[in-house]
Amino acid sequence: MNNATYKRTEVGLIPIDWEVKTLGEVGDVKMCRRIFNNETSPNGTIPFYKIGTFGKEPDAYISKEQYDEYRKRFSFPRKGDILISAAGTIGRTIIYNGEDAYFQDSNIVWIENNFNTVSNVFLYHIYQVANYNTEGGTIQRLYNSILKATKFACPTLTEQTLIATALSDVDALISSLEKLIAKKRNIKQGAMQKLLQPKEGWEVKKLGEVCDVRDGTHDSPKYFDSGVMFVTSKNIIDGKLDFTEISFISTEDAHQVNQRSKVDKGDILMSMIGTIGNAVLVNFEPNFCIKNVALLKPKKIIPTYLLQLIYSQSFQKYIESKLDGGIQKFISLGVLRDLDIPFPALEEQTRIATILSDMDAEIIALETKLEKYKNVKLGMMQNLLTGKIRLV
C-alpha cells in the first residue's frame, strides 16, 4: 500500500479518491405504512412479514385490496432495495425482488438511495460491515437517526460495480454450496429412513440390552483454569465435540467422576439437556469427564450404527415425546434404556453404518469448503470495502 495514495479518515485509511459518506447522505430512510393486527389474517393472498418472520416463512397476510392501496399511496420498496431489520437481530438484510409482499413498519426499513451516489448492489455489501454501535455500546434498536449517521467509505460508481461484482460472485458460490449441502442432507435423511426401517429377519431390542447406558456426575466440582476437561451438553455441537468453551476440574475430582462414568474410545455421548439428542462418537482416547451427558457404551451393537440410529427421525421423535422437567427439559436414563431399536445382524449394521457414514463424510467435506469460502469472502470484504485492494 502506497501511503501517498491513501488518506486518514474517521473510518480509517482509505484511497485518496474515495469519500466518507453517511447513509443519510445516500437517501431517506423509508418504511411501509402501518398494518394493525386486526387487519391481518393467518391465511390470505399477500404475505405480511413481521420482524419475527423477516427472511422466513410468513404467518400473517393482508388483503390484495389493502396492499394495492397502500403500495400506491405510501412508501414501498423498489425492486432491488435492501430491507434492513431495525429490531430483533439488528442489521439483517434482504434484497426485495419485487414480489407481492408487505413489511412491518419501523421494524423493517430501507434506504431509498440515489443511484448516482451508491448502487444497491454495493450498498448491500456495505450493510454487511456497517457498525451500528452507539456511544453506549451495542444498540437494542436501529433508530433512523443511528442508521442515517452510520459512515462508510464510498468509491466511485465504477469501482463500486467492480467491488460488488467480485463479492456477489463469492456470494453466489456460497449460496450454491449451501443449497448443495441442504440437498445432500435431505438425501441422507431419506437414506436413513429407508435403511433403518425394520426388515424381515431383524430383531427389536431395548437400548439398555445392547449398550450400557449411564450419565455423568450430578455434582458440580470446583472449576480451575487448567486440569482435566469437563464436558457438558453445551460441548456437543452438530455431532462434534467442541472444546472452545470448556471448564476444567482437578485430577482428584476427575478421578471421583470417572468412578461412575469414565469415557472410553468407542463410547457415544448424547446431550441430556439443552440440545437434547445431539450425539457424538468418541473416536479417540479421551481425557475428559462428563456432566449432563448420557454415556452409551456399546456392547452388542456396532457404535457407528447406533450413532446413526440416534440421529434417525424415529429416535429423535421418541426423545422429544418423553422429555421431563419444566423450563429446563431433560431426558432420563430410564427412558433411554427402555427405547426399542431395530436390530439387524452385526454384518448388516456395519454395511448400513458405512453407507450413512460415507454420506456424512461428504457433507462434512462440503461444510469445510463452505467455511473456507466464507472466510475468503470475509477477507475480500475487509480489503475491498476499505480500498486496501483496488480493482481499478
| Domain match, 268 and 328 both | yes
Average pLDDT of the residues in 170-186: 97
Is 222 contained in some domain?
yes
Average pLDDT of the residues in 127-132: 91
Is 373 contained in some domain?
yes
Work out the pLDDT band at 323, boundaries 50, 70, 90: confident
Non-local (6+) Cβ contacts of 201 within 8 A are 344, 345
Work out the pLDDT band at 137, boundaries 50, 70, 90: low
* Type of residue found at 182: A
| Domain match, 175 and 112 both | no
Is 131 contained in some domain?
yes
Between β-strands 228-231 and 288-290, what pairing exists: parallel, antiparallel or unpaired? parallel
| 261 pLDDT above the threshold of 70 | yes
Domain limits at 355?
155-202+344-392
Work out the pLDDT band at 273, boundaries 50, 70, 90: confident
Helix (H) or strand (E) holding 108: strand 108-113
Average pLDDT of the residues in 135-147: 78
Is 5 contained in some domain?
no
pTM, 2 dp = 0.81
| Domain match, 279 and 310 both | yes
| Domain match, 257 and 297 both | yes
| Domain match, 309 and 259 both | yes
Average pLDDT of the residues in 191-220: 91
Q: What pLDDT, on the 0 to 100 scale, is given for residue 1?
A: 53
Q: Is 22 helix (H, G, I), strand (E, B) or coil?
A: strand
Q: What pLDDT, on the 0 to 100 scale, is given for residue 195?
A: 96
| Domain match, 293 and 180 both | no
Is 63 contained in some domain?
yes
Instruction: Centre a 10 Å sphere on the Cβ of residue 111 and count the other Cβ atoms it contains.
Output: 23
What is the number of structural domains in the chain?
3
Give the E-state strand segments of 161-261 in sequence order: 203-206, 211-215, 228-231, 236-237, 240-241, 247-249
| Domain match, 218 and 93 both | no
Task: Answer positive or negative: Cα dihedral of 183, 187, 192, 194.
Answer: positive
The CATH code of the domain that includes 326 is: 3.90.220.20
Percent of the chain with pLDDT over 90: 82
| Domain match, 322 and 220 both | yes
| 135 pLDDT above the threshold of 60 | no
Is 381 contained in some domain?
yes
Non-local (6+) Cβ contacts of 19 within 8 A are 153, 154
| 181 pLDDT above the threshold of 90 | yes
| Domain match, 141 and 245 both | no
| Domain match, 243 and 321 both | yes
Q: What pLDDT, on the 0 to 100 scale, is given for residue 4?
A: 65
Is 337 contained in some domain?
no
Non-local (6+) Cβ contacts of 377 within 8 A are 167, 170, 171, 174
Burial zone of 37 (CB within 10 Å; 0-12 exposed, 13-18 middle, 19+ buried): exposed
Q: What pLDDT, on the 0 to 100 scale, is given for residue 218?
A: 74
Non-local (6+) Cβ contacts of 9 within 8 A are 20, 153
Q: What pLDDT, on the 0 to 100 scale, is given for residue 390?
A: 92
Give yes or no for a contact between 167 and 381, defined as CB atoms under 8 angstroms apart. yes
